[in-house]
Structure 1
Amino acid sequence: MKQEPTTHTSTALSAKFAEPVADYLEYLQRERGRSANTLRAYDVDLRNLGQFLQHQSQDPSLKQITVEMLRDWLAQLHEAQVSRTTLARRISAVKNFFAWALKHQLIDTDPALRLAAPKKERRLPHVLQPSQIDRLLSEKTEVTAGAGDSESAAESGPDARSQAVAARDKVIAELLYASGLRISELVALDVGDIDFERRTLKVLGKGNKERVVPFGKPAERVIIAWIRSHRKVLARQEAKGALLVGVRGARLNVRQAREVISKALESLGDTAASGPHALRHTVATHLLDGGADLRAVQEFLGHASLATTQLYTHVSVDRLRQSYRQAHPRA
């Protein structure tokens, strides 16, 4: 289900800063088609700068903001030990905002032009071994309900509801590994997005870009079981066509789905992998290990840049090197 993006500009900011930010967010929504998540991230980052300027008792108009002010803001973020990733994202948001302001003649010169983003930390993601995936997705493995659901399920009493929650949670785990979806993409799926004849999903990804993603027979089995026997136990009218439903009857939200997977991974007891993105990392690595073409994996994951997908080739090489050290007599 396509969600309508909304803006969240803080009213605590002065109009001199808040109004152009609101105009910029509207531009990103209407003309660039940015998602609600992207708009929220931009709003948070730009509001952080606006609040810093107000706290410094400067409260300048957009034209009065200088590169020195921006560097003072960055220095404050450094002192607060903000991570490199967050710092890079905030610098990018500010640079894009001022570039837009210059283009629309809201400022005469771009004060963010000379800001340099820190190099991002290149961390290899934790990847599950095939044996761990087998345990995670085994019919014998009980996948627990998310923290937001378990209490309500207990209150409702009947075994049918508990079985429905367990069946839904298996769909979450199977589909994340089968399709490599982002958790936000997973919870946005409608029943109508599934083509059982071709075993594919119609997915609305970042930037409202649509792609078609395949899934396998094990995922097909748990999806069919969920839809035929269990979904109706939980779903109410407000769920509409949602594939995944919470115990209160509405579409399952991202937090609940994330907690389902986090608890399931924690229950394995022998992996540092955590959260749903670990399954996305894992399926990408397993595809490349199995000989899949890099560009096919890029399309599968919905990456805008091939460079993002190439991270997983480093994971595969790292795994190969580790296996070589363990197995080769002259390693």
Structure 2
Amino acid sequence: MNHDAKLQFYARVDEKAAELPWYVREYINKKQRTLSPATLLNYCHDFIIFFDWLVAEGYFKGSRRDVPLDVLETLTVQQIEDFLLFLQFRLDNAKLTINRKISALKSLFHYLQNVAETPDLKPYLYRNAMAKVEFNPVKEDQETIAQKMSGKILWDEEYEQFREFVASGYGELFKDNKKLFNFHQRNRERDTAIVSLILGSGLRLSEIVGLDIDDLDLVKYSARVIRKGNKEQYVFFSEQAMRDLQDYLAVRKTKYRLDDKIKALFVSSPIGPKGTTRRLTPRAIEKMVEKYAKAFGKPALSVHKLRHSFATRYHAENNDVPKLRRQLGHSSIQTTMIYTHLTNDELKKAVDKMDQ
């Protein structure tokens, strides 16, 4: 992601932060040195939900942006537990999602109590109820996680079947629906390139979104990405992904009416009276994959499951966990080990078939 693209991403963070109290904006600004813009944007969304809940529950009569620090200081552990129940039963958040929101709030409250200082060197908060809140227990052994994942990813011939479906099958399926057919024809090279690149590299959604034209090395079949922790890395992709990227690049400029100033690799169709194009958002890519997955007959398939599909296939064909760990950008090798359980299960099924 080049400098201009980073500035645009941080502009979205600033836009959301502007909807929050001053001390949260200060926290977000401080964290820009250590957290990725994608993480900060997620934090902003989590904070907006929390402060909206405070106002809705009557803990402050006013706007979300004006919630004072003393409201946070007087919150009880039970009140925060009520918020977590709201997330679980009213918003239908999964335990892992709730844990992410707890983590964001713990980080904010820790900053307000232990890092931030008033002009007379006093903390913003003396009391921190979030420090007493525990995460949801969601620990599962790797075999259990692998079992849950196995039915939601692509196996064997499904890799190419799904890629072909995105490239042409979807259009054939909806050829009598002029709106869907025309939209597919306009974006099929782009959509195929995105799906093929994830299946051929295992890149994360945020890494796909952040790619610029200049990040691609079409000679070495690699892409420069910013991984978690703002670490730069060159990640290799497959020959099929290269071919699909070349097909997309051949039409990108004309189909999306781009000038040379737009460096984002994956862009949206021109919208509005001026035909404005912009970098595809994470949600736009998620919705695109969901659309194809549902029509393909595998609705549980998602961007992250495409990444899992790549990793499972890579391990099955190469059996090299350290290289897979680097390819995926995992900080811990234990995270990568889940794919050994997936492929071991497939081996067991193959052995069982011998007795049939």
Q: TM-score, normalised on structure 1?
A: 0.80
1:25-66 deviation line (CA, Å, top 9, x unaligned): 11222x31331x322322232333333333443344333333
Residue aligning to 1:299: 326
Contact 2:290-2:299 within 8 A present in 1 as well: no
Residue aligning to 1:158: none
Residue aligning to 1:242: 264
Contact 1:137-1:174 within 8 A present in 2 as well: yes
Letter in 2 for 1:252: L
Alignment equivalent of 2:243, drawn from 215, 221, 246: 221
Contact 1:63-1:107 within 8 A present in 2 as well: yes
Residue aligning to 1:62: 72
1:216-261 deviation line (CA, Å, top 9, x unaligned): 2222222223323554333322861232333314433434433443
Q: C-alpha separation between the residues in 2 aligned to 1:143 and 1:214?
A: 27
SS of residue paired to 2:235? strand
2:307 is aligned with 1:280: yes
2:285 is aligned with 1:257: yes
Contact 1:143-1:166 within 8 A present in 2 as well: no
2:222 is aligned with 1:200: yes
Alignment equivalent of 1:92, drawn from 72, 89, 103: 103
Note the C-alpha offset of 1:136: 2.2
Residue aligning to 2:29: 26
Note the C-alpha offset of 1:170: 2.2
Structure 2: runs of 5+ lacking an equivalent:
61-69, 116-122, 271-276
Residue aligning to 1:136: 162
RMSD of aligned residue pairs (Cα, Å): 3.2
Letter in 1 for 2:45: V
Q: TM-score, normalised on structure 2?
A: 0.75
Note the C-alpha offset of 1:201: 0.7
Note the C-alpha offset of 1:310: 2.7
Residue aligning to 2:119: none
Q: C-alpha separation between the residues in 1 aligned to 2:226 and 2:255?
A: 27
Alignment equivalent of 1:212, drawn from 221, 230, 234: 234
Residue aligning to 2:137: 119
Note the C-alpha offset of 1:133: 0.9
Residue aligning to 1:73: 83
SS of residue paired to 1:212? strand
Note the C-alpha offset of 1:24: 1.4
Q: C-alpha separation between the residues in 2 aligned to 1:48 and 1:230?
A: 37
- Aligned sequence identity (%): 24
SS of residue paired to 1:101? helix
Residue aligning to 1:266: 294
Contact 2:153-2:308 within 8 A present in 1 as well: yes
1:238-295 deviation line (CA, Å, top 9, x unaligned): 86123233331443343443344333333433x4542222210100111111233223
2:1 is aligned with 1:3: no
Letter in 2 for 1:314: H
Change (3 A) 1:33 1:141: closer
Note the C-alpha offset of 1:174: 1.5
Letter in 2 for 1:187: V
1:88-121 deviation line (CA, Å, top 9, x unaligned): 1121112222222222222224322221111227
